[in-house]
Chain A
Amino acid sequence: MATKVRLEDVTKVYGNVVAADNITLEVKPGELFTFLGPSGCGKTTTLRIIAGFEAPDKGRVFFDEEDVTFKKPYQRNTAMVFQNYALWPHMTVYDNIAYGLRLRKIPEDEIRKRVKWVLELVRLEGLENRFPLQLSGGQQQRVALARALVVQPRILLLDEPLSNLDAKLRIEMREEVKRIQRELLITTIYVTHDQLEAMSISDRLAVMDKGRVLQVGTPQEIYFKPRSVFVASFIGRSNMFTGKLVERSRAYAKIYIDELGVEVEGVIEDSEPSDKVIAIVRPEDIAVELLGASTSTNNNVLRGVVEFKMFVGEKQELRVKVRDASIVAYAPKNLDLSIGQEVLISFSRNSLRALPYK
């Protein structure tokens, strides 16, 4: 049975930087949970607290119901894959992997079997006797993963394990990590600043900024229902406007958008009328149509002028000027548009989200 991890109010201060600020969350047994955030937001710090390399100044860490806040790293049975892999250069691949097993006093022939098993799992058979410096980056990364997996840890911790690889290998290894995690069903905590990686690999993720966890959810929730401006702007692309809440009914609200000079309808979270808000629409939620050829049933319709267009693969990316705003939207690639042409853009009231202005 896989282990559950719970952080309660975890806070860590370095000098005058708050690296982790009152973090409370729960990682479910067997899930792949990601910390996502910009550089310096405290992801590594949080991971190191879970591994036991640091103790939090405040708060507690639980594995299942056991309080491990002040347990030493070597008493926790977690296994970490470091960003720089941290393979020991003076040991062969075999010795690197067998290290944790030898510490556990497992008989040597059992060790041999397990190393063989894990090398197959990470697809590195036959490299046992190489030294780390004789391996490519991707191979080293897999050795690091194997070294962590072979001890069958309660929790697998991965700190930006793919960031040193080239783009193609990164995607391959991403799938590999996901496959192995599914196969072994180990509770896994993954750290990255790459939103695509986080979105594609995670069961759930936490978005962090300046030591705080801003939102926890599935990739879909995070993408389509960002609860703060930071999350919306950090993940994917979005159009943002400033506005005022005019009126709110049960499900939807009327919002006056300053830049567009119109009222639109959208979803809103905890704001009072006349509060300032930030309204967000994702480009892929916007429909672009030629004047007079509108078929969409969207409630919010605006008229604008194409300012800029660019083909990106199977669609074209547009910037449409509406009053003072420049709105990013996508159009089908066969839609015949020219710069300066007038178009209709529209979006449903479900896809506009208004967030408190801060």
Chain B
Amino acid sequence: MRTYSPRDLIIVGLMLMLLEYMFMQLNLGALQKSTLDLLLFLGALWLAAMLIVEERFDPYRIIYSFSWSFIVVVSITYIFLALALQLSGVARSIVYLLLPLALTALAGLVKVKAVEPLIQGRSIKSSLGRIPISRRLQLSLYRLDRVMIAFIAISLAILVAFLITPVLSIFQYSILTPSGEPWYHNFKVIFSDNLYVRKIFIGEPKPWEFIRRPDGTLELVVTGVNYGVLVNSITNAVIVTVVATALGVLVAFALARYDFYGKTFLRVLAVVPLFVTPFINSYIVKLIFGTGGPISIITEALFGFKVRIESLAGVALAQIMAFYPIVYLNAYSSFISIDPSMEEQAENLGSKSWRLFFTITLPLALPGIAAGSILVLIFSLEDLGAPIVFNEHNLMSYKIYSSLIGEAGVVTPEIAALGVVLIALSVLGFLVIRSYVSMRAYAMVSRGGRWHPRTRKLSVVGHVLIYLLLLPLIVFTALPQIGVILMAFNVMALDRFSINPAGFTTKYVVEAFTGGSPLAADIPMHVRNTLTYAITAVLIATVLSIIIAYVVSRARIKYVVELLDVLATIPIAIPGLVIAIGYYYYLSTLSSWGLEWSRGTPLEGLFIAINPIYGELGFQAWIALITAFVVRRLPYTARSVFAGFQQVHENLEEAALNLGASRLKTISTVILPLIVTNIVSGTLIGFIYTSTEVSTSVTLGAFNKQQAPVTYYMMYIYKAGTTEAYRYAAAVGLLLIAIQLIVVIVVTLVLKQRYAFIGI
């Protein structure tokens, strides 16, 4: 019997696509069209089911192939998006091209991962005879002693109370609809309204055009096209992800595989964009791409016009510059952890450099790169700094933000629905990539002994290429952070990218610390807020991480372990703004519900304190903020602690249990002392991501400004538009850079942990 390859499925897809194209030429009515669509879809589904059930397609041909599984993941995402956005024309036809492959792969996955183990498990269980319920209960209780049960209960309770419920409350609000409308009304609006998905373009400014200024200079103004809030967000995120991935992989490959003078310097410089300085770095990107920036200077000298990049185009550029190092770090560590013998083997067989790269090196590094890319996608979707600075209102993140801190003080169900769409996009992407990455985790397993990564000496031409292309690129992407420092010391102008060493003064930095000027008066208070919240939150997160990591690495109850593992990592994929609206709904509901029965009791104060609606009159923003910080930054501490647990062989623990130590005793005398460096570095990394947090700080913080963290203040300055105050914002940025720098140095040099960006 003939079996089919993935390539055959693409050919089938091609035929489906042609079929669909022919139908479209037939001038059919809407009903007939959708019937035909349904028929084509059912045909593809039938084909997939038949191929899998009759074993004429081997699912492992996809699961074990890097490139095919990657193609399948991309195809599924594409199909999902194309259907959600109701694309038409060629974009829709491509769905049919990919459909047979995607469906067959899914059917195969279901068979291999769910059906087969179930059938095998059944036959074993039946040969074992029935295990009585009482015995099963005894077995589960045995696996979970009291400490384990307490750990599971504590961690689930915290995650349910402060992560799941707030997020679910958004779902609940998103289906509140005007009377007479179905429950999905708000979603229908988001997927069809002209605000979100634009179909009418009238009087639209051109995506780019030349403008002659009154003073006679010529300017090229690039803005990008506004396709509506939903499409903009997705397009922007996709573009940012693709470009950032390409850049990151390129830089990582050059740095991982070639030796040249100044390499260490470039490696350090390449991670500079990861130093978070909210708002002010985007502002500097705006200056860089403004009429007074380096780009304009170059184009004016060469072609006689200046360049100004604004709106969507500016947001994309700022995000690419800020996020590409995430891919770079992941790709770099993937490249250097590839066993050189694999590449040598391929070379022996005659594989030449390009071929080698595309057939061996890239596929092996793909899981790491994919993990980095999905983070870029998520970060781009939820980013608030760039949209605020470029004043771009037509993005999902900005819409949510502006409605949260809007004058009206009410968040409409439509915004909740927008939050649901945002969370669905990022969580789905995250989960798909997560299973893809863990499925091929074996590729990254090192075979025992250490090796020296393969590097090559570069020729003279190679050096020239590196210095002409790579060096400017890396320096360029580090400019925002450099600009922040220059601005803080008054070496850079406020409205253009020009440097004036004579202006050097420490005045702004000093005043930011002391609050010794009217514009900076509140800074010390906000810095104190940030430090208090970040330290408290990160300590709680660390304890919670230890508890969760212990359960995940030691409890032998599959579902509990998987659930906790996902819950502890998923906050990475939940946009901060979604957490913010979630908390808003959740806290105000909880409060009004609590106030009802706690009248006159001391608890009344607590229920007032947690309600953002009371604002400055009684809302204790710190409670909400610390809780949100714990939940949002949990993955950063949890991953590090978890890595520690994985290094401690279970036997070390069992040896103690065996000698008579209880669980808690074992944890405190054997495990914690062994993983203390992992814990400390997790705490430190969590600390920097907490102290630079933006989304919940600027939203929940806005309800009680006295208690807002310093990132709120940076945004406040920016919104207030007092340009003079930018220097103070830059000084705060400098402080944040300093904190991050110290942590990175401590983690890498003192604790000797690898500071890679968080993996999935």
User: Hey, which bits of chain A sit against chain B, CB under 8 A?
Assistant: 11, 13, 15-16, 18, 51-53, 55, 57-58, 70, 72-74, 77-80, 82-84, 86-90, 99-100, 103-104, 147-148, 151
User: Residue A15 contacts which of B117, B654, B670 (CB distance < 8 angstroms)?
Assistant: B117
Q: Are A89 and B655 in contact (CB under 8 A)?
A: no
Query: Please, what's the 1-or-0 string for B638-675, where 1 marks a CB less than 8 Å from any CB in chain A?
Result: 00000000000101101111111110010001100110
Cβ < 8 Å to A, chain B residues 52-110: none
Other than the known A51-B654, A74-B657, A74-B662, what 11 A-B pairs have Cβ atoms closer than 8 Å?
A13-B124, A55-B143, A58-B131, A72-B145, A74-B658, A74-B659, A88-B655, A88-B674, A89-B674, A99-B661, A147-B655
Cβ–Cβ < 8 Å partners of A11 in chain B: 128
- Given A18-B124, A55-B138: A103 in contact with B659 (beta carbons within 8 A): yes
Q: Are A16 and B117 in contact (CB under 8 A)?
A: yes
Q: Are B139 and A55 in contact (CB under 8 A)?
A: yes
Q: Give complex CA distance A104, B660 in Å.
A: 8
Closest chain-B Cβ to A120's Cβ sits at a distance in Å of: 20
Chain A residue with the shortest CB-CB distance to B141: A70
Q: Give complex CA distance A74, B139 in Å.
A: 17
- Given A58-B135, A103-B660: A16 in contact with B654 (beta carbons within 8 A): no
Asked if B348 is an interface residue, CB under 8 A from chain A, the answer is no
Cβ–Cβ < 8 Å partners of A83 in chain B: 651
Q: Are A80 and B139 in contact (CB under 8 A)?
A: no
Cβ–Cβ < 8 Å partners of A90 in chain B: 673-674
Q: Are B659 and A99 in contact (CB under 8 A)?
A: yes
Cβ–Cβ < 8 Å partners of A72 in chain B: 145, 657
Cβ–Cβ < 8 Å partners of A104 in chain B: 660
Closest chain-B Cβ to A127's Cβ sits at a distance in Å of: 19
Q: Are B656 and A70 in contact (CB under 8 A)?
A: no
Q: Give complex CA distance A72, B121 in Å.
A: 28
Cβ–Cβ < 8 Å partners of A84 in chain B: 649, 651
Cβ–Cβ < 8 Å partners of B135 in chain A: 57-58
Q: Give complex CA distance A6, B656 in Å.
A: 24
Closest chain-B Cβ to A287's Cβ sits at a distance in Å of: 46
Q: Are A13 and B128 in contact (CB under 8 A)?
A: yes
Cβ–Cβ < 8 Å partners of B142 in chain A: 55, 70
Q: Are B658 and A73 in contact (CB under 8 A)?
A: yes
Q: Are B657 and A57 in contact (CB under 8 A)?
A: no
Asked if B129 is an interface residue, CB under 8 A from chain A, the answer is yes
Chain A residue with the shortest CB-CB distance to B654: A53
Q: Give complex CA distance A83, B536 in Å.
A: 42
Query: Please, what's the 1-or-0 string for B114-131, where 1 marks a CB less than 8 Å from any CB in chain A?
Result: 000100110111011101
Q: Are B673 and A79 in contact (CB under 8 A)?
A: no
Cβ–Cβ < 8 Å partners of B139 in chain A: 55, 57
- Given A58-B135, A79-B659: A86 in contact with B120 (beta carbons within 8 A): no
Cβ–Cβ < 8 Å partners of B117 in chain A: 15-16
Cβ–Cβ < 8 Å partners of A70 in chain B: 138, 141-142
With most chain B CB atoms within 10 A of its CB, the pick from A11, A57, A77, A88 is: A88
Q: Give complex CA distance A100, B117 in Å.
A: 42
User: Residue B660 contacts which of A16, A51, A53, A77 (CB distance < 8 angstroms)?
Assistant: A77
Query: Please, what's the 1-or-0 string for B580-612, where 1 marks a CB less than 8 Å from any CB in chain A?
Result: 000000000000000000000000000000000
Q: Are A15 and B121 in contact (CB under 8 A)?
A: yes
Q: Give complex CA distance A77, B127 in Å.
A: 34
User: Residue A74 contacts which of B120, B649, B660 (CB distance < 8 angstroms)?
Assistant: B660
Cβ–Cβ < 8 Å partners of B129 in chain A: 58
Cβ < 8 Å to A, chain B residues 127-165: 127-129, 131, 135, 138-139, 141-143, 145
Closest chain-B Cβ to A210's Cβ sits at a distance in Å of: 13
Q: Give complex CA distance A147, B658 in Å.
A: 11
Q: Are B131 and A57 in contact (CB under 8 A)?
A: yes
16 contacts between A and B (CB under 8 A): A13-B124, A16-B123, A18-B124, A58-B129, A58-B131, A70-B138, A74-B659, A80-B655, A83-B651, A88-B655, A88-B670, A99-B656, A99-B669, A100-B660, A147-B659, A151-B660
Closest chain-B Cβ to A80's Cβ sits at a distance in Å of: 5
With most chain B CB atoms within 10 A of its CB, the pick from A11, A74, A82, A89 is: A74
Q: Are B659 and A151 in contact (CB under 8 A)?
A: yes
- Given A100-B659, A100-B660, A103-B660: A16 in contact with B120 (beta carbons within 8 A): yes
Closest chain-A Cβ to B653's Cβ sits at a distance in Å of: 8
User: Residue B655 contacts which of A15, A57, A82 (CB distance < 8 angstroms)?
Assistant: A82
Cβ–Cβ < 8 Å partners of B658 in chain A: 51-53, 73-74, 78-80
Q: Give complex CA distance A183, B669 in Å.
A: 32
Cβ–Cβ < 8 Å partners of B670 in chain A: 88
Cβ–Cβ < 8 Å partners of A18 in chain B: 124, 127-128
Q: Give complex CA distance A100, B141 in Å.
A: 26
Q: Are B674 and A16 in contact (CB under 8 A)?
A: no
Q: Give complex CA distance A325, B141 in Å.
A: 57
Q: Give complex CA distance A79, B659 in Å.
A: 6
Cβ–Cβ < 8 Å partners of B660 in chain A: 74, 77, 100, 103-104, 151
Q: Give complex CA distance A104, B656 in Å.
A: 12
Q: Give complex CA distance A172, B657 in Å.
A: 30
Closest chain-B Cβ to A211's Cβ sits at a distance in Å of: 11
Chain B residue with the shortest CB-CB distance to A16: B120
Cβ–Cβ < 8 Å partners of A147 in chain B: 655, 659
Q: Give complex CA distance A30, B351 in Å.
A: 64
Cβ–Cβ < 8 Å partners of B125 in chain A: 13
Q: Are A82 and B657 in contact (CB under 8 A)?
A: no
- Given A16-B117, A16-B120, A77-B660: A86 in contact with B652 (beta carbons within 8 A): yes
Closest chain-B Cβ to A71's Cβ sits at a distance in Å of: 9
Q: Give complex CA distance A151, B129 in Å.
A: 40
Closest chain-A Cβ to B145's Cβ sits at a distance in Å of: 6
Q: Give complex CA distance A80, B652 in Å.
A: 11
Q: Give complex CA distance A151, B669 in Å.
A: 18
Closest chain-B Cβ to A272's Cβ sits at a distance in Å of: 27
Q: Are A73 and B124 in contact (CB under 8 A)?
A: no
Q: Give complex CA distance A88, B669 in Å.
A: 10
Q: Give complex CA distance A83, B654 in Å.
A: 12
User: Residue B652 contacts which of A51, A57, A74, A88 (CB distance < 8 angstroms)?
Assistant: A88
User: Residue A86 contacts which of B128, B138, B654, B661 (CB distance < 8 angstroms)?
Assistant: B654
Closest chain-A Cβ to B666's Cβ sits at a distance in Å of: 9
Closest chain-A Cβ to B138's Cβ sits at a distance in Å of: 6
Cβ < 8 Å to A, chain B residues 325-341: none
Cβ–Cβ < 8 Å partners of B143 in chain A: 55
Chain A residue with the shortest CB-CB distance to B666: A74
Cβ–Cβ < 8 Å partners of B659 in chain A: 74, 79, 99-100, 103, 147-148, 151
- Given A103-B659, A104-B660: A73 in contact with B121 (beta carbons within 8 A): no
Cβ–Cβ < 8 Å partners of A53 in chain B: 654, 657-658
Cβ–Cβ < 8 Å partners of B662 in chain A: 74
Closest chain-B Cβ to A155's Cβ sits at a distance in Å of: 11
Q: Give complex CA distance A73, B128 in Å.
A: 25
Cβ–Cβ < 8 Å partners of A51 in chain B: 654, 658
Closest chain-B Cβ to A46's Cβ sits at a distance in Å of: 15
Closest chain-B Cβ to A22's Cβ sits at a distance in Å of: 9
Closest chain-B Cβ to A68's Cβ sits at a distance in Å of: 12
Q: Give complex CA distance A245, B364 in Å.
A: 59
Query: Please, what's the 1-or-0 string for B603-644, where 1 marks a CB less than 8 Å from any CB in chain A?
Result: 000000000000000000000000000000000000000000
